[in-house]
Structure 1
């Protein structure tokens, strides 16, 4: 593995982790607001649980893909290589 390839791979992982952290922070902030609105306006029915659960499932899968499965898609890698080849051909 070339040094530049290792750097690019590490950069991709760091960006993915930062993306997840931003996703999680937005999830927490938005759902805190929704729960507050829910408790102020209609405390008898907790409707805020539905977006909390739905989005929570998406957060769960995002975390699973990032930290547990941690598999790079062969299809994605092939697409990246093809695009890099196209860019190199354009430069020539």
Structure 2
């Protein structure tokens, strides 16, 4: 995850980091998702970010000075939550783009093959309803069964009062 933070701080895309480091885009994606990189990958990334390999690995045996320096690169829980939320929003927009491309194609096929009956309305309606629910979940418009509800239920199960 530290690689993703460093990459975003530099304003680089995964493709740009791939070109600079000599690693494949897929390798960059795996490392950013938490898979442990090999020594050669670490060397390449350390060279690109101008850091030592131990800074990228997150060595636990650090002095106070090293800890202060490392804290600038550490990914906090808030940042992890922000990354998670951004991934959810990106997923929604990808879903929306698919809808905006495929539904007109379906209407085109419908009008070309059988213009007397507009059957493409039904996939548009069903998929549109799914898209609305996806938006409600991603943007927390309706907070039914959201984090607050979960917290209350956990406290209830543990027999604690809020």
TM-score normalized with structure 1 length:
0.72
**Which residue in the other structure is 1:9 paired with?**
81
Cα distance in 2 for partners of 1:66, 1:13 equals: 8
Aligned to 1:45: 117
Residue 43 of structure 1, CA deviation: 0.9
Which runs of no fewer than 5 residues in structure 1 stay unpaired?
Answer: 79-92
- Counting matched residue pairs gives 74
Are residues 1:35 and 2:132 paired?
Answer: no
The residue correspondences of 1:1-92 to structure 2 (distance < 5 A) are 4-67=76-139, 68-69=141-142, 71-72=146-147, 74=150
- SS of 1:51's equivalent in the other structure is helix
Q: 1: distance between equivalents of 2:118 and 2:103?
A: 12
Q: TM-score, normalised by structure 2?
A: 0.42
> Which consecutive unaligned segments of at least 5 residues does structure 2 have?
1-74, 155-162
Tell me which residue corresponds to 1:86.
Answer: none
RMSD: 2.0
Give the superposition deviation at 1:57: 0.6
Higher relative contact order, chain-length normalized (CA < 8 Å, sep 6+): 1
Deviation at 1:69, TM superposition (A): 2.9
> Is the radius of gyration larger for structure 1 or structure 2?
2
